[in-house]
């Protein structure tokens, strides 16, 4: 679990404080990543540990994230993901391990003018509220690491909810990475 949690924190594939929002459907792999996403990134996690993140292309519109702590460079985990642009927002999607339901997670991201990669999780509490208010369909689940929710609404309904300006606070900044300069 530590490796998976490290990658999720690193990429924020959305296991924040043991809370996980998953979806039955993945994002389609039909769009290339935005310019500047691929490459090497660095950050420091909430515990002050320096981390590296390497984002590479696997094939047509499929990518891979490799995250590791600088102090333990041999302990790496690789996870394939897809990206999609919907409205003005970029999203990434990755498969969740079987012990967490084996579904998919979705995160928002942006590349800032300062060449930072900012990853946004979906707030579990607000997604649960949306389910209770029937804005989304889904149900909660529990793992040894905390609560989660499986959203089983169609992606059209999910994006209608996420694109509504009234729901903009459903996104919570989870990680911020600096682009590493290429060695000359």
pTM as predicted: 0.83
Q: How confident is the model at residue 99 (pLDDT cuts 50, 70, 90)?
A: confident
Task: Report the run of H or E that residue 21 belongs to, with start and end.
Answer: strand 19-23
The reported pLDDT for the residue numbered 104 is 92
Give tens-digit pLDDT for 163-172.
898 998 999 9
Residue 145 falls within a domain, yes or no?
yes
Within-domain flag for 184: no
Name the pLDDT band for 4 (thresholds 50, 70, 90): very low
Model confidence pLDDT, tens digit, residues 133-163: 999 999 998 877 778 899 999 999 999 999 8
Rounded CA-CA distance 162/142 in Å is 24
What per-residue string of b and e applies to 40-70 under the rule 16 or more CB within 10 Å gives b?
bbebeeeeeeebbbbbeeeeeeebbbbbbbe
Contacts of 181 (CB under 8 A, 6+ apart): none
Is the pLDDT reported for residue 184 higher than 90?
no
Q: In total, how many domains does the chain have?
A: 1
pLDDT by residue (tens digit) across 31-79? 899 989 999 999 987 788 888 999 999 988 899 999 888 888 788 888 8
Asked if residue 88 belongs to a domain, the reply is: yes
Full residue range of the structural domain in which residue 170 is found: 2-179
Token pair of 131 as six digits: 């389910």
Residue 161 within a domain: yes
């Amino acid at each position: 679990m530590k490796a998976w949690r490290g990658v999720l924190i690193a990429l924020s594939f959305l296991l924040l404080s043991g809370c996980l929002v998953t979806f039955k459907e993945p994002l389609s792999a039909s769009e290339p990543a935005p310019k500047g996403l691929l490459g090497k990134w660095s950050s420091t996690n909430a515990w002050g540990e320096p981390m590296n993140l390497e984002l590479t292309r696997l094939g047509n519109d499929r990518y891979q994230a490799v995250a590791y702590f600088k102090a333990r460079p041999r302990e790496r985990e690789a996870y394939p993901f897809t990206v999609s642009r919907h409205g003005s927002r970029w999203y990434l999607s990755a498969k969740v391990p079987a012990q967490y339901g084996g579904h998919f997670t979705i995160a928002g991201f942006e590349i800032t003018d300062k060449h930072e990669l900012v990853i946004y999780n979906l707030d579990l509490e607000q997604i649960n509220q949306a389910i209770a208010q029937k804005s989304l369909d889904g149900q909660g689940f529990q793992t040894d690491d905390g609560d989660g929710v499986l959203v089983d609404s169609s992606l059209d309904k999910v994006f209608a909810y996420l694109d509504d300006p009234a729901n903009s606070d459903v996104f919570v900044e989870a990680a911020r990475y600096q682009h590493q300069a290429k060695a000359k």
